[in-house]
Amino acid sequence: MRPPYIKNSIGGKIFDVFLVIFMLLFSFIMIYPFYNQLIISLNEGLDTTRGGLYFYPRVPTLQNYVYMFKRGNLLRGAIVSIARVIVGTATTIFCSGILAYVTTVKDFSGRRFMRIVYLITMYFGGGMIPTYLLISKLGLMDTFTVYWLPGLFNAYYMLLIASYIYGLPESLTESARIDGAGDLRIYIQIILPLCLPVLAAIAVMAGVGHWNSWFDVMIYNPSGKWDTLQVHLRRILLDVEQLQKLKSDQQQAAEMRKLTPESIRAATTMIVTIPIVIVYPLMQKYFVGGITIGAVKG
Amino acid sequence: MSQKQINVASITSVDSKKQKTKWDNLISRLKREKTLWIISGIALVWVAIFAYAPMYGILFAFYNYQPGLGLAQSEFVGLKYFKEFFLLPDVWLILRNTLVISGLNLTIGFVAPIIFALLLNEISNVHFKKAVQTISYLPHFVSWVVVASIMFTLLGNEGVVNEVLIKLGFIEKPIRFMGEGKNFWALLTAANIWKSVGWSAIIYISAIAGVDQELYQAGAVDGLSRFGMVWHITLPSIAPTIILLFILGIGGILNAGFEQQLLIGAPQTRDYHEVIDTYVYRYGIQLGRYSFATAVGVMKSVIGFGLVILSNTLSKKVTDMSLF
């Protein structure tokens, strides 16, 4: 609501009308590309190539999705993707959280040292090639471990959680300590439940990051054994081999004649996008919260 | 004499007592902090391997590193690879692409979210405002793979964009958006803005929300119009945020994006999409020239670091605002 002391002139009212039109157009540009993929994915591939497909599928079919799940190893990709999100997010939250806790225990002698050792990693790094060589030296190539181990402790998450712990009343941990609780127990039973808001924000950040990442999958999984959905999509997008596979599949089975690379790609795009579209409006407040915490901390 | 000796003896005994208690203190402290040190130990091992070992790996840039050999067995070559980079025929092309793409992001791409935030702030209906803002985030949450896939479909020869343009009579033949070098910069900038405008605007929106309402009241008393308020009150109020983000942007001017180029770029557009980061990837990981690629990466980081310092000092001098 605009406060009443701001007067709206005639020019202002005309501007308001154009503003609404502009914002509607803006929203359309943001949404329509996704919607376009959706209707292509639900339309028969050959029919799509005739053009004129704008707002609803003309020959509705689910065969694009069926093909991807049946032939395209998409199910395995989906399982790997989901596993990566769950394992990667859970481990980084638990470990970054415990690190944050360690740096906030008031009279712990290593507290400053740990904080500094990790802060340095926020500003300096080895870069792409040394990291790549390290991963291959550690034997992490073509393993699932490469998805979560290199991100186990995160300095930025540590800062976010630590600043949240500082805001908690100290008496809580002190009374637990007097009652004889150990540090691990204090962390798991007191700190973690109290930190839920900030942990939720980080979970969304980390989870979306894991779901969307494809470059590390591509370079650390040359064999394709642990391919995620994103990499499947990239392959359909850029690999010629995948197209040839589709062609040979089409020659074998009659019901696949009507598939096209575009329709299959659209179906895969939708499978990758739909979870995000469902989750992000719900998680919005956590996300925005995370940004503002980061901004306050500088 | 004897008196003195006694004194000395008593002093040493006091000293050893002190040391003993100090030692005891340390031990009891370590005992008390046992769990904390175990946790810290694990975290230290991890950070040594996954964060500090790659930093050590920067030394590869000065050696002729071969996989399987350690640094000790590798030949020290000094700055050979750094010089080699500047002697390449491609180097100006790569630097040009990096700077042009970054420059576009730092001008058009930088102003777009500010304008969007200001316009959004002018919407009087709260629900409409909220809905538009939520919609504007959406592209931020999807991966570049998805964006690239959408672009190939929408902008392809048979895509909706070409189809509509032909139907409306603007063009006769479909425009080759993708895979055409000349269009690449515009295409990439548009994609960058589409993906990030809503998300980047958040910080401005919260800065605008933090502007003191009394300023607007005072402005109203002084007879400011709605647009005058934006120009004389809102913009100056969020100027610190804008400047700070611009400094950050200058520091990152060599980060011209990476995933975008790998996904949207085609072999035909190489002359326009190859930037330093994609170059490092191609030479280091695809061609296995580890030392050379590391050297290029190091050079980029050093120059980037220098740029942050430089822009920070400049901004401190000119506007009295700085990051550190």
B43-86, pLDDT tens digit by residue?
A: 999 999 999 999 999 998 999 888 777 777 888 898 999 999 88
Band of residue B9 on the pLDDT scale cut at 50, 70, 90: very low
Compute CA B44 distance to the chain's CA centroid, rounded to the nearest angstrom: 26
Task: Break chain A into its structural domains and give their ranges.
Answer: 10-71+239-297, 74-220
**Taking residues B85-113, what's their average pLDDT?**
94
| Helix, strand, or coil (residue B284) | helix
- DSSP run (H or E) holding B122: none
According to the per-residue pLDDT averaged within each range, which of A168-177, B136-145, B243-252 is highest? B136-145
Please give the share of chain B, as a percent, with pLDDT higher than 70: 93
Task: Show the 3-state SS of chain A.
Answer: CCCCCCCCCHHHHHHHHHHHHHHHHHHHHHHHHHHHHHHHHCECHHHHCCCCCCCCCCCECCHHHHHHHHHCCHHHHHHHHHHHHHHHHHHHHHHHHHHHHHCCCCCCCCHHHHHHHHHHHHHCCCCHHHHHHHHHHCCCCCCCHHHCHHHCCCHHHHHHHHHHHHCCCHHHHHHHHHCCCCHHHHHHHHHHHHCHHHHHHHHHHHHHHHHHCCHHHHHHCCCCCCCCHHHHHHHHHHCHHHHHHHHHHHHHCHHHCCCCHHHHHHHHHHHHHHHHHHHHHHHHHHHHHHHHHHHHHC
Closest CA to A272 of A235, A220, A231: A231
Residue of chain A nearest B129, judged by CA positions? A23
Task: Show the tokens assigned to B244.
Answer: 């700070």
Residue of chain A nearest B167, judged by CA positions? A52
Q: Specify whether the CB–CB gap between B57 and A134 falls below 8 A.
A: yes
DSSP string, B216-278: HHHHHHTT--HHHHIIIIIHHHHHHHHHHHHHHHHHTTT---SHHHHHH--GGGHHHH--HHH
Compute CA A5 distance to the chain's CA centroid, rounded to the nearest angstrom: 43
Per residue in B173-216, pLDDT tens? 888 888 788 889 999 999 999 999 999 998 899 899 989 989 99
Q: Specify whether the CB–CB gap between B199 and A30 falls below 8 A.
A: no
Residue of chain A nearest B132, judged by CA positions? A27
Q: How confident is the model at residue B122, as a pLDDT?
A: 92
> Which class for B169: exposed (0-12), middle (13-18), buried (19 or more C-beta within 10 A)?
exposed
In this predicted complex, what is the ipTM? 0.90
Choose, out of A112, A129, A158, A269, the residue to mutate when testing the contact with B (most B CBs < 10 Å): A129
CA pair distance A104, B275, nearest whole angstrom = 42
CA-based nearest distance A232→chain B, Å = 10
Compute CA B245 distance to the chain's CA centroid, rounded to the nearest angstrom: 11
CA pair distance B131, A142, nearest whole angstrom = 43
Taking chain A (298 residues) in runs of 10, the rounded mean pLDDT of each run is 68 91 97 95 88 88 87 84 97 96 90 94 89 93 96 94 90 87 91 90 90 95 92 84 74 76 90 90 69 46
Q: How confident is the model at residue A170, as a pLDDT?
A: 85
CA-based nearest distance A99→chain B, Å = 7
CA geometry: angle at B146 spanning A48 and A295, to 5°?
150
Distances (CA, A) of A248 to A175, B178, B214: 69, 27, 71
Residue ranges and CATH numbers for the domains of chain B are 2-79 (no CATH), 82-319 (1.10.3720.10)
Residue B2 has pLDDT above 50, yes or no: no
Q: Say how many CA atoms lie within 13 Å of A44 toward its Cβ.
A: 10
Q: How confident is the model at residue B232, as a pLDDT?
A: 93
Q: Specify whether the CB–CB gap between A267 and A41 falls below 8 A.
A: yes
**CATH class in words for A74-220:** mainly alpha
Residue of chain A nearest B125, judged by CA positions? A1
Q: How confident is the model at residue A296, as a pLDDT?
A: 42
Q: Which amino acid is at B189?
A: T
Please give the share of chain B, as a percent, with pLDDT higher than 90: 52
Beta partners for A60? A43
Block residue for tokens 């919607």? A35
Closest CA to B269 of B186, B181, B189, B177: B181
Q: How confident is the model at residue B119, as a pLDDT?
A: 96
pTM across the whole model? 0.88
CA pair distance A150, A95, nearest whole angstrom = 12
Q: Residue B297 is nearest to which of A2, A95, A129, comparing CB atoms?
A: A129
Distances (CA, A) of A290 to A22, A175, A224: 29, 30, 34
* Cβ separation B262–A215 shorter than 8 A: yes
Q: Which of residues 254-283 of B touch A (CB under 8 A)?
A: 258-259, 262-263, 277, 280-281
CA geometry: angle at A96 spanning A95 and A98, to 5°?
65
Q: Which sign, positive or negative, has the C-alpha torsion A134, A139, A143, A149?
A: negative
CA-based nearest distance B195→chain A, Å = 9
Distances (CA, A) of A273 to A266, A267, A285, B307: 10, 10, 20, 37
